[in-house]
Structure formats: structure tokens, C-alpha cells
Amino acid sequence: MGARPRKVKPRRSGAFRTQRGWGRLILVLGGASSGKSTVALSLAGRRSPRAFVATGEPLDEEMAERIRAHRLSRQGRWETFEIPVDVAKWFSVEGRRYRTVVLDCLTLWLSNLQRQGIPAADVPTQVRDMLQAARRANGRVVIVTNELGLGIVPPDRATRRFRTLAGQVNQQVAEEADEVHLAMSGLTLRLK
């Protein structure tokens, strides 16, 4: 008689998900005006208390108007934090207080890191630190990001480099996420 087959435990998604009770990480990606923020709020659910971590900064009037519109769409049901750079620190200090956190958006955070002078080579470490801190939040964390690779090839080198870096960051977060959803024209497709 041969050896009995061993039961193989399914691999848990997420390299940092090593302790029981850690939260669920969901990534929502899509193009500009694809409906990804609305999808993220829907996936976040209704568990309270809820935090909305906004990385966008009102650097011009158009961006200020977008921020105002996003705030109105949440209608005070979320506690909003404007955290352009120190997202990992926010999760470490505040994250455990919330059962639901939406981080909107990873691409703007990446842009802010670049504006702060963080070299591209250091970005994966920044992302890793943010993901580790987000995992310790204990609740559901929904991260919104832009899929920049579906458009035309940018004509200038700096934009092409940023697009490549954003793609690498999205892949890093998607690998760690428990779920990944793609938003297009207000519709969603679950990828993972």
C-alpha cells in the first residue's frame, strides 16, 4: 500500500498575510473616468467606522473641483483624511480604528512620491511598507489605481517612465491583493 496523499492547504493570497485576523485587501483599477472610485465605494461595503484616504492635492482649480465632487459623493458617511505621501504612516497610526478604508488613489500617491524626490528604485520599498501597514488595518482596505497602459505610447520620456513605474506598482499591489477588479465605463470585471 502506498503513502496516503497529503492534504495541501490552498496558498493564501498576499505575501504579508501571515497573521490571523488581518484585513482583506481589494484593488480596483481602471482608466480616467471609468467609475473606479464608485466601484471602490461599493466594494467597501457599509461596515463602520469608515475612512477615506485621499492622496490627491488641489494643485489647480480643476483638481480642486474633482476633490470637491468626490467629497460630495461620499456625503459625510466617511471620515476623510488627505494624505498625499505618508500613507504607510497613516495606516500604522490610524488604520486599526476603521473597519473599512478606501485609499484613492495609488497613481496620485506615486506622483506625489515622485514630486517629493523619491527615486523610482525606492518606490517598490515604499509600496511594500504601505501594503504591510494596510494589512494590519484588520478591516477591508480598498485601493484605487489608474491603469495607464491601455492608451497610446506617450511621446516624452518622463511620461513613459512614469507609466512604466505605475504599471510595476499596480502589479506589485495586484500580487498582494485578495481581490482585483477592473472598472470600465462604469462596469466591472473581477480579475482575481
Counting the structural domains of the chain, the total is 1
**What are 38-73's pLDDT values in tens digits?**
999 999 988 899 999 999 876 778 776 776 777 777
Of the given ranges (11-15, 78-82, 163-167, 183-187), which has the lowest mean pLDDT? 11-15
Does residue 35 lie in a domain region? Answer: yes
**20, 80, 130 from 135: Cα distances, Å:** 11, 19, 9
pLDDT for residue 20 is more than 50: no
Q: What pTM value is reported for the model?
A: 0.83
Does residue 4 lie in a domain region? Answer: no
What residues make up the domain containing 83? 24-190
Does residue 93 lie in a domain region? Answer: yes
Selected catalytic residue, list 17, 31, 57, 70 = 70
Q: How many percent of the chain have pLDDT more than 70?
A: 84
Per-residue cell: 151: 492608451
Does residue 12 lie in a domain region? Answer: no
For residue 41, what is the domain's CATH number? 3.40.50.300
| Residue 159 pLDDT | 93
pLDDT for residue 3 is more than 80: no
Contacts of 41 (CB under 8 A, 6+ apart): 73, 74, 102, 142
Does residue 52 lie in a domain region? Answer: yes
| Residue 151 pLDDT | 81
Average pLDDT over residues 137-159: 91
pLDDT for residue 8 is more than 50: no
181 is catalytic: no
| Residue 142 pLDDT | 97
pLDDT for residue 179 is more than 70: yes
| Residue 112 pLDDT | 95
Number of H helices, E strands in the chain: 6, 7
Does residue 2 lie in a domain region? Answer: no
Does residue 165 lie in a domain region? Answer: yes
Per-residue cell: 159: 511620461
**What are 87-122's pLDDT values in tens digits?**
999 999 999 999 999 999 999 999 999 999 999 999
Does residue 19 lie in a domain region? Answer: no
pLDDT for residue 163 is more than 50: yes
| Residue 22 pLDDT | 59
Q: How far apart are CA 28 and CA 177, in angstroms?
A: 10
